[in-house]
Amino acid sequence: MEIEESTLKKIAEISRIRLTDEELKDLRKDLETILEHFSAIQNIDEKEELYYLTDKPIELREDVIEKCNDSESIFALFNKKHERYLVAPKSLE
C-alpha cells in the first residue's frame, strides 16, 4: 500500500515531530510494512490453523507454576507501613 507524502507529513505534525526527507522515506517504508502485515492478518481464516507471518515460528514455552514471594517478605521491603498496608507518596492531586 502506497502512503502519500501529505499523509506522512500530517502524521508527523500530529505526533509533533520534525522529520527530514530521509526520515520521511524511512517512515513511509516502516508504515507500509506495518500495513502489509495488517493486510495479511485480515486475510487469515481464524477457523484454520495458526499462521505465522515470519519465517521462524514462535517457540512457545510450557507454563511453570512457581511459588512467588510471600506477602511477609514483600511487606518487609517497605519502610513506611500502617498496620497491614504499605504507605506510598501521594501521586494525584
Give the C-alpha distances (Å, rounded to integers) separating 23 from 8, 85, 92: 10, 50, 38
Mean pLDDT taken over the chain? 83
Q: Evaluate whether residue 13 is within a structural domain.
A: yes
> Has residue 30 got a pLDDT over 90?
yes
> Which residue range(s) make up the domain with 19?
5-42
pLDDT value for 41: 77
Residue 30 lies in a domain: yes
Domain count, the chain: 1
User: Per-residue pLDDT averaged across 45-64, rounded?
Assistant: 72
- Cell numbers at 21, concatenated: 526527507
> Considering the domain boundaries, does residue 76 fall inside one?
no
* Residue 89 within any structural domain of the chain: no
Please report the pLDDT score of residue 38 as a whole number: 86
CATH number of domain containing 13: 1.10.20
Residues of the chain with pLDDT > 90: what percent? 32
At 2 the pLDDT is 86
Q: Answer yes or no: is 52 within a domain.
A: no
Question: Is 51 inside any structural domain?
Answer: no
